[in-house]
Amino acid sequence: MAQRLFFGVDVGGTFTKIALVDEKSRLLAKSKFSSEGFSNKAFFAKTLRANILSILSEHKLALRHLKGIGIGLPGPVDFDKGIVLSLTNIKGWNRFPLSAYLRRYFSVPVFIDNDANCMGLAESRLGAARGTSYALCLTLGTGVGGALILDRQIYRSSYFLSAEVGHIPVVLDGPKCSCGGRGCLERFVGNRALLSAARRVFKKDMSLEEVSCLAAKGDLRALKIWRDAGNIIGLAVSGVLNVFNPEIVVIGGGVAEAGDALFASIRRTVTCHAMEQLKKYVKVKKAALGNDAGVLGAALLAKEQVGIRV
């Protein structure tokens, strides 16, 4: 069986996920392991290798079929040089030439990118934005990440950031943000901001799942939390729409699980603020790949970088 295989790796602060994908972008297997101890780079490389070998052997596949590895990371990376620029969740990886380092362990090309870019790539190829050429992808979670797909390619600037939609300022001189800016979207619709909004409204700690449940039952306070969040997401998204005119906006991440209450509000705000030419066409869709988007995108990155575009 002369197939060509790719591993996608999604390195998170708590867990690292991996997925095996074939040259037709089919997901063959996936697994997940703790990210503990990954400050030690050799330990990370060995753990990754052990997990990759274990999946291959489980599926009776040989290492020689592996043609590339893609890695998504929660921080800025120098994609061209394969260097991790900074990671907040794993210490000691700043300015670390991860691609070159791992290449010695695997003898195949290793590509790294920002995790939001990987998710955007996966949604663009296999998910909600499939078939489009220009897409804006958002991930709503603890942070609010973004990726732009321009002419089917991930947009990368010279500053090694992804399209940081979460750091669009929505309020002049607003609250300070960890990014160095102020009044960023993330400060209003990131997990933490939504949890504290819920706490303020319900006078007790609530999970976002509980807020969504209440909203689904018609609780006006819960609905207002999602409506407010949708308004502010819609406002920021409309600005990107009018500047960059994507065909579709794909929204994923844990917070997107809020579902209709949130999406109806986002859509209403986008319809209100997008230019006439755009509001007729642009779609706002929920991400389709869920938790697999990150690993899948990382694998697709490797696959496409070695020249396979099936």
Applying CB under 8 A, the residues found at the interface with its own copies are 76, 133-134, 146, 148, 150, 155, 157-161, 163-165, 167-169, 172-173, 179-184, 231-232, 235-236, 238-240, 242-247, 269, 272-279, 281
DSSP state of 289: S
Minimal distance, residue 191 CB to its own copies, in Å: 20
In this structure, are residues 83 and 102 in contact, taking their beta carbons and an 8 Å threshold? no
Structure tokens that stand for 92 in this block: 């000691």
Minimal distance, residue 225 CB to its own copies, in Å: 16
H/E segment holding residue 193: helix 191-202
Cα(84)–Cα(75) distance, integer angstroms: 8
- Catalytic residue check, 219: no
Place of tokens 């900074």: 86
Minimal distance, residue 281 CB to its own copies, in Å: 7
Active site residue: 115, 205, 219, 228, which one?
115
Strand partners, 137: 147, 250
Question: Residue 31 or residue 245: which is nearer to its own copies going by CB?
Answer: 245
Question: Residue 179 or residue 306: which is nearer to its own copies going by CB?
Answer: 179
Cα(148)–Cα(162) distance, integer angstroms: 8
Amino acid at 258: A
Minimal distance, residue 264 CB to its own copies, in Å: 16
Question: Residue 95 or residue 204: which is nearer to its own copies going by CB?
Answer: 95
Which of 16, 3, 4, 5 shows the shortest CA–CA distance to 295? 16
Question: Residue 48 or residue 274: which is nearer to its own copies going by CB?
Answer: 274
Cα(106)–Cα(10) distance, integer angstroms: 17
Question: Residue 8 or residue 234: which is nearer to its own copies going by CB?
Answer: 234
What are the φ and ψ backbone dihedral angles of 9, each rounded to 5 degrees?
A: -130, 130
DSSP symbols for 200-265: HHHSS---HHHHHHHHHTT-HHHHHHHHHHHHHHHHHHHHHHHHH--SEEEEESGGGGGTHHHHHH
List, by residue number, the catalytic residues: 115
